[in-house]
Amino acid sequence: MTYFVWETRRRAETDVMAPHFAPTMKDHKVSFIAGRRFVQPLPELEIRFRAERPYTLTDDLVIQKRRCLVHSDRLADTLRRAGVDGIDYHACRLVNEADGTVFQTHKAANLLDVIHCLDRERSELEIDDEEPNEIWYIHRLQLFEDRLGDSLMFRLGERLNTVIVHARVKEAVERAGLTGPVFLPAEGYREYPGFAFDNPRNVIGTHDLDPDGAIDRLDDGPGPDATE
């Protein structure tokens, strides 16, 4: 297995899950999932959460129902050392509304690399009948890996929410003991239809080899290796 889908997941009860990313589209007319470099510099962004101690800010911050990326300095450094050079980082502060504590340990990550490599014929997709380019769900993912060259981390062009990394990145992040990311093999990856409902772990996709146990139905409980 060469490529993996990067999921940001809450894996312990003490892990913080922020309810919202900073309102960048509304306030600044930019998107952190479009794969475009911003022409104008952004002011320091603010992401708010509410948590009582003890709590943990994962290196890859968990943001409810979103695939915007917010990385700790340790994670950003690990990615650079692994060879990932297509990310622009923007200053942000994390504010705990429960006690007013402000953290400046993370940055908002704008992943610039976008590759159109979805193998539609071998994938199992649920597609909008009126708009064939609109994918509702991925039930089984297959990629044209021969289109990827030496790419290490990118957004899937046909599904910009989906972040894919090379095994080299997965191994570097796991070796560094960083928290937040879960890596699911790209081949056979499938989205979890219940992610938009109550989802305390922020499960967005799953796989037969999901480290927390495959989750495919809304009424499924935590997988056998889950911590809550």
Residues pairing with 182 in the sheet: 7
For the packed helices 73-82 and 167-175, what is the interaxial angle rounded to 10 degrees?
140
User: What pLDDT shows up at residue 13?
Assistant: 93
Confirm whether 216 is domain-assigned: no
Tell me the per-residue pLDDT of 101-117, one tens digit each, with 9 for 90 and over: 999 999 999 999 999 99
Burial of 193 (0-12, 13-18, 19+ CB in 10 A): middle
d(CA 167, CA 12): 24
Q: Please tell me the total count of domains within the chain.
A: 1
Tell me the per-residue pLDDT of 196-219, one tens digit each, with 9 for 90 and over: 777 888 999 999 999 999 987 544
User: What pLDDT shows up at residue 217?
Assistant: 52
Please name the residue that has the structure tokens 């993912």.
Answer: 141
Which range, 20-34, 58-72, 76-90, has the best average confidence (pLDDT)? Answer: 76-90
Task: Annotate 90-118 with b (16+ C-beta within 10 A) or e (fewer).
Answer: bebebbbeeeeeebeebbbbbbbbbbebb
Spatial CB neighbours of 209, under 8 Å, sequence gap ≥ 6? 184, 185, 188
d(CA 144, CA 123): 10
Residues pairing with 62 in the sheet: 17
Residue 96: which domain range? 3-206
Confirm whether 214 is domain-assigned: no
> What's the pTM value of the predicted model, to 2 decimals?
0.90
Does residue 224 have a cis peptide bond before it, meaning omega lies within 30 degrees of 0?
no
What average pLDDT does range 18-35 have in this prediction?
Answer: 92
Confirm whether 213 is domain-assigned: no
Confirm whether 48 is domain-assigned: yes
Question: Tokens for 149?
Answer: 């060259």
Confirm whether 222 is domain-assigned: no
Confirm whether 220 is domain-assigned: no
Confirm whether 50 is domain-assigned: yes
User: What pLDDT shows up at residue 215?
Assistant: 83
CB 143 within 8 A of CB 157: no
Dmax (CA) of the chain = 52
